[in-house]
Structure formats: C-alpha cells, structure tokens
Structure 1
Amino acid sequence: MIAALRAAVLAGAVTMLSSAAADTTHQILGFDDLDGWDRDDHAAALSVFLNTCADLKDPDWVALCALARSQDPSGARRFFELFFRPVLIEDGKPALFTGYFEPELRGARHPGGAFRFPLYKRPPEAAEASPWLSREDILNSGVMENRGLEIVWVDDPVELFFLQIQGSGRIRLPGGGVLRVGYGGANGHPYRSVGVELVRRGLFQAHQVSAQVIKNWVRQNPEQGRSLLFHNPSYVFFRELDNVSADQGPLGAMNRSVTAMRSVAVDPAFVPLGVPVWLEKDGADPMRRLMIAQDTGSAIKGAQRADVFFGTGDDAGLAAGRLRDPGRMAVLLPIQRAYALNPDGV
C-alpha cells in the first residue's frame, strides 16, 4: 500500500500545474505551521473525506482512500500528518473566503394562491444554444409556458432569484413534504451582480450590500426591483433530486452531498476536487478548520478563493452572507505529489 502511494505521482502533479496560471507558486508547509491544527476535529474531516475520496482515480489517491477507510477515528490526525503535506498555492491574488448555503423556500406541486412563480426544467433549445435567451426574455416572452417544464411553484420571486444564484435548494410543500432541486443547466449568459449594480447606481456603498439588503430593497421597490433583477441576464434551470434524503446536504460538484462547515467550493484549476484543505479564515470570527474541496462555483476563481458551505435554511443563509474575509488556505496533498510540485520543498 505504501509503495502505491509513491507511484504515478509526477504525471498527476504536472497535470495540476499545467491547468493553473503560469505565475502560480507552491510552498510546502509543516503541520506545525498551520494555526490551530492541533485543536481541530480531524475525525470529522476524515468522515467527509471518505464521502468523495473514491472518486479520485489517480493511484496515489486510490491507495490513500483505501487507507482512510481502515482508519479508526482516533487516528485521523495521525493519518493526515503521516501521508500528506500542506501546500500553500498562490497566484498573486489576495485570499478571499465567502459562504454559501442551501435555501429553503415554500412551494407547491401545482399553481394556486401565492404559489405563482415556477421553477423550470431546461428546455431542449436552451441546451443547444449558448447563449440562449436572457433572463428578461425568458420571463417576459412566454416561451416557457404550457410546455410541462414546471417542476414546482413557489411564493416569492425574490427568493427564487437567490435560489438560482445558489444553484440548489429545498422546497417545503404544504403538509410537510420536502422537494429537493439541483442545478439543471443555464441559459449561457454570464452572471452579473445586482449588488454591484446597486452600488453603481449610488443607492448603497459596497460595505452595506448583502443578500438581505438586496432582498429588502427589491421588495420595497417592486418596479425598480424587477428591473434590477433583470440586470443579471443569467438564468438557471433546475432538476428534481429524488436520490438525496432530506437529512443530507445538497449535491456538490462531485455529485455527492456536501457537509455543513466541512465542505468548501474551490477553483479546480488550482485545487483538485476531493482533496483536504486547511482553512485559516481571519476577520471578526476566525475559523481554523480542515475541510474537503467538494464543490465549485462560477464566482470562485483563484488559488486562494474558497466558499464555505454553511448548511440549509435562513440561519445558515444569514451566517453565510456575513462571511467575506481574508486569510489563507493550504491544500493537503500526498507527500510525493507535494514534492513533485515543489522539489525544493520551499
């Protein structure tokens, strides 16, 4: 098993290097360099790592995943320290850590009363053209109507807009049932921030803008609010997820459920999906935690960029919305792979 860990590493490391920017640097750290490492719950991180490590196909990762499955939780810290090295990957851009969550909306299987705003499946023509119609065209032209593309109807178009930004969520149905939806494609237009647009119009300063501020402003200014939401031409379609139980997190980019406060979204051009990452988030509420890179996001670009999954519902949304802090992130790589990226070890 140990021999397998030392095989087929150079090719994987070269692939990782070629996909990132040419000015990317790699610095190997010691575990003593990681602030708070000895105080974390390594067993919790190991459990989350096991959720997706089987999807890592390179031989060194396959061997590590097999070893991880044989670990007693009490030996989790030793497992990471014995077989990994932390690597600080930088691309010249400052670190930025934000948060995301799984929204929970109210809805119904059939339209009626307050439930007037549908979540749509992607129509075939949208899959064939990129870009397709803009958000405004989709909602104003009637192109989606009477085609059986509706999945569910919700009671709040503003929450629906933010559900599209998150890409997945839960819909609580009358009678207590829950329907889960996930990303089902998009119209091919780039995302444009309505928060940035509010600042450009002089209505808020940048530090004042949050998801809740945007929601409140749109509701208080219905006509201008509708126009503001059309500023973002991107439109996300959904699919119903019937293979994820209500007690699990939403599916991430690896098609596995993500875990609150242990899963992060990263830029796979720099950080391979499925690998452990050590997060040192500074700011008002510092965070020092071993997490697993199990998701991506259209706004998550850069070697030191990560989005922390906070969980489901309003409380998670408020906590995620407050997070916008600096710090640093180290990627835990198999030892030989780490030294192949930086042969000098510095």
Structure 2
Amino acid sequence: MIGGFGRALTLGLSLICGAAMAETKYTLLDFADLDGWAEDDHSAAFAAFKETCRDLDGPEWEKLCKVALETDDARGFFELFFKPVMIEDGEPMLFTGYFEPELAGSPTRTETYRYPLYRLPSALPRTGPWLTRREIEQGALSGQGLEIAWLSDPVDRFFLQVQGSGRVRLTNGDVIRVGYAGNNRHPYSSIGQELIRRGIYSEHQVSAAVIRNWVRNNPDEGRELLWTNDSYVFFRTVNEVPAEKGPLGAMNRSITAGRSIAIDPAFTPLGAPVWIERQGSENMHRLMIAQDTGSAIKGAQRADIFIGTGDEAGRTAGEIKDTGRMVVLMPIQTAFSLVPEVL
C-alpha cells in the first residue's frame, strides 16, 4: 500500500469527494520547526509505532522497524532516521476525535433490543454500491442469520458504525468486541452537515451529542435523517484482542488512546509517525502514529484522534473540531524524493 507512495503523489491527488483536483504540495521541515517537539513524551509514541511497524511496506520501513525494535532511544530514533514533511492539498486542517463505544446489547432480539449489528453478508458483491442504509434498515437482510448482537437504540448503532469498533455488554453477562468488517460501498455523507443544510443548527452548534439528542427527540424525522447517509458498516467479532488493549485499527493491530490517529492513506502512509499541532479549547502538540482510517477522513490535512473507550472518551471525542496542522515524519530518503529540487 505504501510502495511507490512518494512518486505517485507528486502528480496530485483527488481531494474530498466532489471537490476539484489540486496538486499536492510538500514542504520539508526541521524538528526545530515542530512546536513543542522537545517537550513531548516520545517513548509513548515509540511504543505505538512499534505496535505496527512490522506491517509497513517497503525496504526503508523494514530497516527502520528493525532498528526501532532494537533501541530504547525514542527521540533519537525519530530525529536520526526521519524528516518532517508538511503535506498540503489546499484544504484547511481539521482535527476531530473518535472513540470505542461500550454499549448494552442482547444476543437475541427482544422488545427492548431490536436493532441488529450485522456481520458481512456473503451476498455483498466484490465491486460497486449495494443496498442502501434505508433498504437494509427496512429489513432487506432480515432472516439471514447475520446478526452478531442486538442494540436498544438506532442512534447508538449509527454512531458505532461511524466509530468502526466498540464493545457490547450483553444481557447474559458476556462482553464482545466488534470491529469493522466492510461496508455497502456507498459514499459516507455527514448527517451533521445535513442538519446544517436544513437550517436546524448552525455549524458551531453541531456535535455528536447534539445529533444524538435531536434524533432521539424526533424519532420519525431522525430515522429519515440517518437514512440520508447511504453508507452502512458491517462488523466482525474481535474477541482475540485483550481487554486492556485498544481496538483494532486499519492495520489490524490495536490502536493507542492519545497516540493513534486516523488519516487519509492517499496522503499519509499507514503506520507513519505524524506530528500534530492541534489548536482549540485544549491545545495538543504531540507525536502520533497513523494507524487507522475512516470514510469521513479525506484530505492531506485531516485527522481523527483516538481518545479511548467508553462514555467519557465519547464526550471528549465529540467536542473536538479544531484547526492546526499535521506534519508527517518520512524516512529521510523518501522525504527528499518528494521534493527533488532540494537535492
């Protein structure tokens, strides 16, 4: 996935769905240009990096991973073998947050628990869009034995699909972990943006909590609102992941609260270190690892910060909508190949 990354991107890539094509801009920086770099806990990011570095493609990454696994000098490792690269596509930086929900559920359908989580259907075609969210939630997959568990709230199910993973505490005492297995190949569309478009809320008012409350307080209109997003996510059980570790990210490895981010892999290699400078109600200048993706995460300056598990993490994640910048740490030779004129 990462092989040939640099040369391909110099031709320019597509921006957010529906936007025009724009050339990708690369700027080489020094570590002294990273605000707060010297004060960060590099060892925490180093531990997260080593979680997935074996899965990085390309000889440069393989060599770096081998060195990483044999050293304890986190800051020295990053400064010696990497070059900070600012990647821009003309769109402003946007940081958001995500989390791993923990929800109540049932192994069987009941009067209370009647909203299913489906596993990936065998009938899903290999290419092209399939059934829409509306069609699926109106019963298109009923009676096929695809149910993993049942939830009590359609809004919880929707946001679980947005997050891509979670824990379900069942009525029989069992706790299962579910993770992303695939989707119906329809593009994701934001229901928050739809509420803004309808004039129900202004942009600064919209948050996950606001959306949840509006849908719950307007059940009929809320159901129609959820159906404006045709994208539908299917799950799989991932109970092999220890409870003390984070959920699986896009690299099929556990992600780390406060050190893992979801990025657009069209611009940032999965597994790469990324320096973020988030500006908002709570500034965050920190080295992260790009270990996840998301259907709403599109663009060179776009990142979703993994906050953790449970309700408190969910409240924190839902409040993040900040600007700033992110800088990708590339292997030195790869970095210079992106800006050949500096050689």
TM class, shorter-length: over 0.9
Of 75, 89, 95, the match for 2:87? 89
Other-structure match for 2:212 = 215
Other-structure match for 1:4 = none
Higher helix content, 1 or 2: 1
Secondary structure at the aligned position of 2:125 is classed as helix
Residues 136, 233 of structure 1: 8 Å contact kept: yes
Residues in 2 aligned to 1:274 and 1:18: alpha-carbon distance in whole angstroms: 23
Q: 1:27-64: CA deviations, max 9, x gaps?
A: 11111111000110001111100011111131111111
Secondary structure at the aligned position of 1:290 is classed as strand
Q: 1:79-108: CA deviations, max 9, x gaps?
A: 111111111111121111111111111012
Residues in 1 aligned to 2:106 and 2:46: alpha-carbon distance in whole angstroms: 38
Which structure has the larger Rg over C-alpha atoms? 1
Residues 169, 182 of structure 1: 8 Å contact kept: yes
Other-structure match for 2:312 = 315
Secondary structure at the aligned position of 2:239 is classed as coil
Secondary structure at the aligned position of 1:125 is classed as coil
| TM-score (norm: length of structure 2) | 0.92
Q: CA, structure 1 residues 52+10, in 2 after alignment: closer, same or farther (shift >3 Å)?
A: closer
Other-structure match for 1:69 = 69
The equivalences for 1:277-316 within 5 A come to: 277-316=274-313
Other-structure match for 1:13 = 6
Q: Kindly provide the amino acid, as one letter, of the partner of residue 103 in structure 1.
A: P
Q: Which moved more, 1:277-286 or 1:174-183?
A: 174-183
Q: CA, structure 1 residues 247+64, in 2 after alignment: closer, same or farther (shift >3 Å)?
A: same
Q: CA, structure 1 residues 129+55, in 2 after alignment: closer, same or farther (shift >3 Å)?
A: closer
Other-structure match for 2:19 = none
Q: 1:266-322: CA deviations, max 9, x gaps?
A: 111111111101001112211000011111111111111111111111111111111
Secondary structure at the aligned position of 2:340 is classed as coil
How many pairs are equivalent?
Answer: 335
Other-structure match for 2:48 = 48
Q: Which moved more, 1:205-214 or 1:225-234?
A: 225-234
The equivalences for 1:234-273 within 5 A come to: 234-273=231-270
Note the residue ranges of structure 2 that are not aligned, 5 or more in a row. Answer: 15-21
Residues 28, 88 of structure 1: 8 Å contact kept: yes
Q: CA, structure 1 residues 90+124, in 2 after alignment: closer, same or farther (shift >3 Å)?
A: same
Q: Kindly provide the amino acid, as one letter, of the partner of residue 314 in structure 1.
A: D
Q: Per-residue deviation at 1:19?
A: 7.0
Q: Which moved more, 1:170-179 or 1:32-41?
A: 170-179
